[in-house]
A and B are shown apart, each in its own frame.
Chain A
Amino acid sequence: MTESTVAQRVTRTGILLALMLFAIVPLLSMFTTALAEPGSTPRGLTWPGDPHWHNFVDAWSSANFLALFRSSILIVVGVVPATVVMATAAGYALAQLNVPFGKVIYGLLVVGLTLPFEALITPLYYDLQSMGLLGSRFAIVLPLIGLLMPFGVFWMRAHFLGIEPALTEAAKVDGATGWQTFRRIHLPLATSAWSALAVLFFLASWNQYLLPLVLVDDPSKRTVAGGLGAFQGQHGTDVVLLCAGSLLIMLPSLVIFLIFQRNFVRALMQGAVK
């Protein structure tokens, strides 16, 4: 190996390391800050001489995180299974069955892929108010199901389009009914597609901020992300507590990502560029 290729290799690794550092440093800075003395204003990235692990416990109790986590879980349970089931059914029908006006229905759904949530938040507020749901978790769950639906249908339809039509034909020849074909053949083949979708929807619900902020006044009925916004409003000046609290709410998203990292990234590629 010549000197210049060694130099090149060092430069390339250096650039990559710099990008990695950029990605991780804000989180490290948060972590060291979260361990500083409560109420103090530490410097950006300094390991505290005497780490206060207790700050996490304090943040947990002062933000009432137990209630927030419970609330987030209720919201996720309300949103994810329902949306995945509806999107799977619709995606299957649009790909494999002759849905009347299927093209129109799908076209309308695709437009929804580009609609920013903010464009809908004003009328949603008044609609939910007239339904009497404002302030309850339904005010987050129901719109979120609708808002996530375009992506869900889009994703599942793409999966079901990739299935050989011969498979369906063969099942038909064997005398399987439409439901049996779906249940026995298509659904098992779709496991990786719908489970990846479930992970994406988990993250989208857990991290949702705008809907809870606007539609639910009581922070303890919001998602954790929505609750953290309120926590920032109250404890914005206490950097140490704020960093500890933020790390706590990031943790589930981070853990879910690391667990599903392999499938997640693979599914993302398949879904995105199939």
Chain B
Amino acid sequence: MTDVLLRQRSEDPVAPRDVVRRSARRTRNWAALVWVAPAFGMYALFVLYPMLQSIQYSFYDWDGIGPAKPAGLDNWKAIFTQPELLHSVEHAFILIVFYSVLPVGLGLVAAALIRELRPGAFSTTARVMLFIPQVLPLVAAGIAWTWMYSSDGLVNQVLRAVGLERHTRAWLGDFTFALPAVGVIGVWVMLGFCTVLLLAGIGKIEPELYEAARLDGAGRVHEFLAVTLPGLRRELVVCTTFTVIAALASFDVIQISTQGGPGYQTMVPGVEIYRLTFLQQHVGQASALAVFLAALVLVIIWPIQRLGRER
């Protein structure tokens, strides 16, 4: 969704309205601040100010009650030296594969498949059904999948039915499989969003481009690479941005399904921040991780957005 601003920015120089604006800009409309003030006020009070506080806290050692002791860069160093903290950041990166790469890839496949259907009940059903996980509370998604992965859950039931009894396990309690299992929940949640967005994008590609490709004797794969993918550039940027943020900032699903366990196998920064502040009272350490997470999101989103801007 951040994509909107990019396009508008790049359009500004040529837009005729810019001329109008420039002439009007001489008279700054101070009264217009009144329109912006409530929105910006709430934002400043409950987002900007707390963000600055987080930065400040990150340089202190504070248990939330007593006096805070200056801690220099200790909390920041810990992020790179304490295994639990470092692992949580690594896991967030692994989750990008599940929350972002797989849903975008499968979303492309699903969108291409739905596109080839005749518009009708089946294509609508497919779209709606795939999108449903996205609108449900993530808490409920966590509960549904915790049940799916449990010893008596559907995953093991299916494995038993096809004779793979020895591969059954309590998936979320397994040191090797817990993180990918949690990741699959991310695929489930994000797939519909990517499919629907990409589907809309495919609909906007000029049919002439496909005809031209076909006349040139392009096969299915070549057509996809030469026409569909470039035509979907903006939608792909929006999907990737949205899902990467969701991956790095995941909390609900993991807090409900594993709480970071077994051991630290599924610990992510979001859950670690919660635990540090509210269970262990390491407010300074939690804040350093919080600021680091926020910066990480910005640093990763930035190049993706740049990619969408070039044409």
A247 to chain B, nearest CB (A): 8
**A154 within 8 Å of B by Cβ?**
yes
Which range holds the interface residue count of chain B? 35 or more
Would A44 and B144 count as touching, CB distance under 8 A?
no
> Please, which residues of chain B bring their CB within 8 A of the CB of A23?
129-130, 132-133, 188, 191-192
Would A115 and B113 count as touching, CB distance under 8 A?
no
- Find residues 131-185 in chain A having any chain B CB closer than 8 Å to their own CB: 142-143, 145-147, 149-155, 158, 161, 164-165, 169, 178
- Find residues 237-264 in chain B having any chain A CB closer than 8 Å to their own CB: 238, 245, 248-249, 251-252, 255-256
Would B24 and A232 count as touching, CB distance under 8 A?
no
> Please, which residues of chain A bring their CB within 8 A of the CB of B24?
98
**A122 within 8 Å of B by Cβ?**
yes
Q: Name the one of B21, B64, B125 contacting A126, with C-beta atoms under 8 angstroms.
A: B64
A95 to chain B, nearest CB (A): 9
**B116 within 8 Å of A by Cβ?**
yes
> Please, which residues of chain B bring their CB within 8 A of the CB of A22?
188, 191
Q: Name the one of B3, B141, B147 contacting A243, with C-beta atoms under 8 angstroms.
A: B147
Would A123 and B287 count as touching, CB distance under 8 A?
yes
> Please, which residues of chain A bring their CB within 8 A of the CB of B197?
268-269, 272-273
Would B4 and A246 count as touching, CB distance under 8 A?
no
B31 to chain A, nearest CB (A): 8
B-binding segment of A54-62, A63-71, A188-196, A204-212:
A204-212
- Find residues 275-294 in chain B having any chain A CB closer than 8 Å to their own CB: 277-278, 283, 286-287, 290-291, 293-294
Would B54 and A98 count as touching, CB distance under 8 A?
no
Against B, the Cβ 8 Å flags (1 = close, 0 = not) of A97-121 are: 1111010010011111111111111
> Please, which residues of chain A bring their CB within 8 A of the CB of B21?
98, 165
> Please, which residues of chain A bring their CB within 8 A of the CB of B201?
273
Of chain B, the residue at the smallest CB distance from A115 is B294
Which range holds the interface residue count of chain A? 35 or more
**A73 within 8 Å of B by Cβ?**
no
Against B, the Cβ 8 Å flags (1 = close, 0 = not) of A236-255 are: 00010011001001100110
User: CA A102 – CA B24 in complex, angstroms?
Assistant: 14
Would A118 and B144 count as touching, CB distance under 8 A?
no
**B99 within 8 Å of A by Cβ?**
no
Q: Main SS of the interface on chain A?
A: helix
Would A239 and B256 count as touching, CB distance under 8 A?
no
Against B, the Cβ 8 Å flags (1 = close, 0 = not) of A249-274 are: 11001101110010001001101111
Would B35 and A119 count as touching, CB distance under 8 A?
no
> Please, which residues of chain B bring their CB within 8 A of the CB of A42?
152
User: CA A125 – CA B33 in complex, angstroms?
Assistant: 30
Would B147 and A33 count as touching, CB distance under 8 A?
yes
**A78 within 8 Å of B by Cβ?**
no
**B8 within 8 Å of A by Cβ?**
yes
Would B196 and A207 count as touching, CB distance under 8 A?
no
**A16 within 8 Å of B by Cβ?**
yes
Of chain A, the residue at the smallest CB distance from B143 is A246
**B158 within 8 Å of A by Cβ?**
yes
**B178 within 8 Å of A by Cβ?**
no
6 additional A-B residue pairs with CB within 8 Å, beyond A100-B28, A122-B57: A15-B109, A19-B130, A117-B249, A126-B283, A253-B136, A272-B238
> Please, which residues of chain B bring their CB within 8 A of the CB of A12?
113, 116
A-B contact pairs, 14 of them (CB 8 A): A19-B106, A89-B38, A98-B29, A99-B35, A110-B5, A112-B43, A116-B297, A119-B294, A121-B273, A155-B1, A210-B252, A225-B138, A228-B140, A265-B196
